[in-house]
A and B are shown apart, each in its own frame.
Chain A
Amino acid sequence: MKTATIRGWAFVHKWTSLICTLFLLMLCVTGLPLIFHDEIDGALNKEVWTPANPGGPHLTLDEILAIALARREGDVPIFLSFDIDRPVVNVTSLPSIDAPPSDMLFASFDLTSGDVVPPADVGEGVMEFLLQLHTDMFLGLPGMLFLGFMGLLFVAAIVSGVVLYAPFMTKLDFGEVRREKSARLKWLDYHNLLGVAATGWLLVVGLTGVVNTLEKPIIDAWRYTELADLVSEHQGPPLTKAPASLDAAVARAVEAAPGMELQFVSFPGSPYSTNAHYAVFLHGKTPLTERIITPVLIDAADGSFEGRREMPWYVKALSLSRPLHFGDYGGLFLKILWAALDIFTIIVLGSGVYLWLAKKRVGEKRFLSEAAVPAE
């Protein structure tokens, strides 16, 4: 690489990093406890809930729904979802189908008794705060998209950093750190070593983070195009008579999607369904497909099957970006690695700022001529 080329890449690396560093530091610091969200919840909520009649027969979904709706007179059901590892269903309802989301009533019910399951929410406030800060800094969609842009700058900084690795390493072996010469050289060598060794993880977590910031537009695109197509093909007048059995509708949907598991039901008139259908969402059973959901429409008047639609590719991409960003798909060992790499990222960011300040002190020309060797 010629000196001018090195200086060009150094310019890109400097500015992309400088702009995103503060936000990336915030993301790394808030992300660290979020990796262990489930473990922290488990530790703070020691009381393990057990069903009233373990192994006993389950109430029907229609019975649970009746219990849920009786808790607030006149409510209509919006969503019903199923817990994975315990016999619990969650019901969300509203006073009317077009009431604002702030009026939502959410409760969990024991399938074996119909009792309300107390929420395990000790410490939830702090985790919620960290999660909000991490996703949108309390600024909603603009905040999310802004952090997505910071993520793109971060990716550009990684790529330019890898390019710059070459001229800085022409006289060094991999992993060599010049500890004795000066603090500046020592931190330069650590910065390069950590950055280049963690490049794969940094790119994956960075890029999937950017995809996750597009969640709202991606889900909206799905709702207003493909899902809307499926729904409008069948959109009719609102139900005039009492809806058909929920259990029968769910059973019919499971039949229509063999090899899949129930995830949630969207009721007639709710955002993910039509005026006259249950939309039953199911997911696959393998690690790869368990995040891919498929909606099945069931006529709410007579319980007959209406249609089924696969997720479009861009929603699948979003579904796979989540585990790859959160690191929650390979057990505790993978989470610990996520935490270690997160801490290394903090060191790379911190040493980067230090090197920028040190370079300003000695002058860029001397810094580069000391450390980077151009091709002759």
Chain B
Amino acid sequence: MNKPRNSLARIFRVPLILLAVSLAGLVTALLVEGHGDVIAALAVAAPVATILFAYFRRRR
């Protein structure tokens, strides 16, 4: 347990990126139609992909 303490910036770096990306995706999907929808949905998928990645990373 002698790991160095994480700073607040470090702790919230990924969560803040996910928050910004998913909110941008949720709003963009409302503003655009067609191909734009897919890109917006990919942004909404970022947290889902992150969670699945974290789950499967150490499973093997």
**A residues near B, CB below 8 A?**
162, 165-166, 169-175, 177, 179, 193-194, 196-201, 204, 286-288, 320, 323-324, 329-331, 333-334, 337, 340-341, 344, 373
Contact = CB atoms under 8 A, between A and B. Distances in A.
Contacts of A194: 51
A175 B21 CA distance: 17
A200 B23 contact: yes
B51 to A, nearest CB: 5
A333 B41 contact: yes
User: Most B CB atoms within 10 A — which of A193, A333, A373?
Assistant: A333
Interface in B44-60: 44-45, 47-48, 50-51, 53-55, 57-58
Interface string B16-30: 001111110010011
Contacts, number: 102
Nearest to B20: A200
14 contacts: A166-B11, A166-B12, A175-B14, A177-B55, A179-B58, A198-B22, A199-B19, A200-B21, A200-B23, A200-B47, A201-B26, A288-B31, A330-B40, A337-B45
B50 A197 contact: yes
B41 A165 contact: no
Given A166-B11, A201-B26, A287-B31, 10 more contacts: A165-B11, A165-B15, A170-B11, A194-B51, A198-B47, A200-B23, A287-B30, A323-B30, A330-B44, A337-B44
A191 to B, nearest CB: 12
A156 B26 CA distance: 21
Contacts of A170: 5-6, 11
Of B23, B26, B55, chain A has the most CB atoms within 10 Å of the CB of B26
Nearest to A335: B41
B47 A324 contact: no
Contact residues of A: prevailing secondary structure: helix
B51 A344 contact: yes
Nearest to B31: A288
Interface size range on B against A: 35 or more
A196 B15 contact: yes
Contact of A200 (B26, B45, B54): B26
Of the listed residues A170, A198, A337, A344, the one surrounded by the most CB atoms of chain B closer than 10 A to its CB is: A337
A271 B45 CA distance: 42
B48 to A, nearest CB: 5
A169 B3 CA distance: 12
A333 B22 CA distance: 14
B13 A174 contact: yes
Contacts of A330: 29, 37, 40-41, 44
A161 to B, nearest CB: 11
B44 A288 contact: no
A193 B58 CA distance: 14
Contacts of B33: 286-287
A330 B45 CA distance: 12
A193 B54 contact: yes
Counting chain A CB atoms within 10 Å of each CB, which of B12, B13, B47, B48 scores highest? Answer: B47
B30 A171 contact: no
B58 A324 contact: no
Contact of A169 (B6, B20, B41): B6
A79 to B, nearest CB: 27
Contacts of A286: 31, 33
Contacts of B51: 193-194, 197-198, 344
B17 to A, nearest CB: 10
Nearest to A197: B47
Contacts of B5: 170-171, 373
A174 B38 contact: no
A172 B44 CA distance: 25
